[in-house]
Structure 1
Amino acid sequence: MVIFIDDRPIRIVKKKELGEMPSKEDFDLVLDARLSPLKVENFSGHTCIINASADQVEKILLNLHAKSGIHFHALYLIVDDRKLFKQKIVKMYQLVEAAGGVVLNQNQDVLWMYRLGKWDLPKGKLEKNEKFETAAVREVEEECNVKAALGLKICTTYHTYTHKNKLVLKKTRWYAMKTNFTGILIPQTEEGIEKVEWLNEKKQIQALTNTYSSIRHVIEKFKKLI
């Protein structure tokens, strides 16, 4: 599970999947929650925490939302029971469900859109009683004017934001899609989308320097899938 807070990845890693215990050769900072105080302002680079309780993780996440001037790149939480921690974390937030797609055309270009000064992928919230798969296809058509065929699930991302003084956790399921569409790309301007483009591999490299960490994560997973 990866949660993005202020565009920083917080990775919940199961100890069994890690193999050997983390070392300072793998991370910039390794903290044992039983021995060291966990102050988010002291995190640096790629920080790894072991032996943290669910309550300690909750406190860390709340501090990340509350404090400014934090400069680490990524946080890795090594846990025994990832499911338990995931349940604890989800309860902290108001959950919003969404779906999106990585769409390939006949030239193997990927559909991107430009919004709020950054490159992004088409996605949006589920409507009432709507399935993730249906929402993903609908959002691609609404935001970009492209009809696409649903493929395999890529991954699920979680990112957080504040709305009306409440912490919100947006859960987005991403799907690979294909299309033979050759029509006009029409951005959904009422959603703040300025332009929609098919980007080849070279242009995608440029777009990835001006996008969100969660989108880079999706593209990374997509490349492994295909």
Structure 2
Amino acid sequence: MYKVFYDSQCIYFDRFINRDRPEQVIKEIEYQTDEQFLEEFHEWMHAPDKADLLVLSDVDNKLRFRRFLGLFKEVKAAGGVVMNENREILFIRRLGHWDFPKGHLDPGEAAEAGALREVAEETAAGPLTILRPLPDTHHLYKEHHKIKIKHTRWFLMHCAGKPVLVPQRDEGISEAAWIGSGRLDEVLAATFRSVNEVLGPEISAFRNKRTD
């Protein structure tokens, strides 16, 4: 199932009504035409106390998901889930939320290069090595009264040693920290839903290895 996040809500895409879907999904929209869908979608976006949204379609999930993404301007970003030699995970704290370091890609910049650059700029961590790609995340946000969709490419990284971290304060980052298994629950409780739902399995794998 494909997912897009908006504020604290999740937008799910499915071909039929899945009775095993998460219980918090309440609002359902059938995607028939772009015009019809956008009208109902904007009503949902502006509704107070929004529930999660399930988008139903009779076409292939991947095709409908790509069609949905094409309705909005895409902003490309990349970031890293970084582990050091003590198997601690690198987090940043920005505007009251814990998150992984990430940022916009420069024009023509490869996602891998951008992810390494952003982690280094936001935390001063290094040297860094990319181990493998992680699942992408997509989230909608408003900028200058227009809806945009940020597509973030994520990579699992290794940082040699345990360097002193320096948060990039001019980007609103108040703290950069290595978080061990003892603090993971506390930090995850103060992070974004996309981190938990999309990257959460990677964090769980880290925790399991930590306790083996």
Q: TM-score, normalization: structure 1?
A: 0.80
SS at match of 2:78: strand
Which residue in 2 is equivalent to 1:39? Answer: none
Deviation, 1:166, is: 1.2
Which residue in 2 is equivalent to 1:11? Answer: 12
The one-letter code of the counterpart of 2:73 is Q
1:192 to 156, 162, 172: 172
SS at match of 2:71: coil
Once the two structures are superposed, the pairs formed by residues 143-182 of structure 1 within 5 Å of their partners are 143-147=122-126, 148-182=128-162
What residue ranges of structure 1 are gaps of 5+ in the alignment? 16-20, 29-44
2:105 to 110, 113, 126: 126
Q: Which runs of 4+ in 1 moved over 4 A?
A: 25-28
Deviations 1:193-224 (A, max 9, x none): 00100111221111111111111124314246
The one-letter code of the counterpart of 1:4 is F
Task: Supply the distance in 1 between the matched residues of 2:166 and 2:129 (Cα, whole angstroms).
Answer: 18
Which residue in 2 is equivalent to 1:103? Answer: 82
**1:77 equivalent in alignment to 2:73:** no
Deviation, 1:149, is: 0.6
SS at match of 1:210: coil
The one-letter code of the counterpart of 2:97 is K
Task: Supply the distance in 1 between the matched residues of 2:48 and 2:29 (Cα, whole angstroms).
Answer: 24
Task: Supply the distance in 2 between the matched residues of 1:76 and 1:97 (Cα, whole angstroms).
Answer: 25
1:58 and 1:81, CA in 2 relative to 1: closer, same or farther beyond 3 A? farther
What's the % identity of the aligned pairs?
28
Contact 1:48 1:78 in 2 (8 A): no
- Most deviating of 168-177 and 81-90: 81-90
Deviation, 1:14, is: 4.9
Task: Supply the distance in 2 between the matched residues of 1:123 and 1:212 (Cα, whole angstroms).
Answer: 13
Deviation, 1:165, is: 1.5
1:135 and 1:98, CA in 2 relative to 1: closer, same or farther beyond 3 A? same
The one-letter code of the counterpart of 1:216 is N
Deviation, 1:162, is: 1.0
Aligned-residue RMSD, C-alpha: 2.2
Deviation, 1:179, is: 1.1
The one-letter code of the counterpart of 1:144 is T
**1:22 equivalent in alignment to 2:1:** no
Q: TM-score, normalization: structure 2?
A: 0.85
1:7 and 1:46, CA in 2 relative to 1: closer, same or farther beyond 3 A? same
The one-letter code of the counterpart of 1:222 is E
Which residue in 1 is equivalent to 2:200? Answer: 220
Number of equivalent positions = 202
1:102 and 1:60, CA in 2 relative to 1: closer, same or farther beyond 3 A? farther
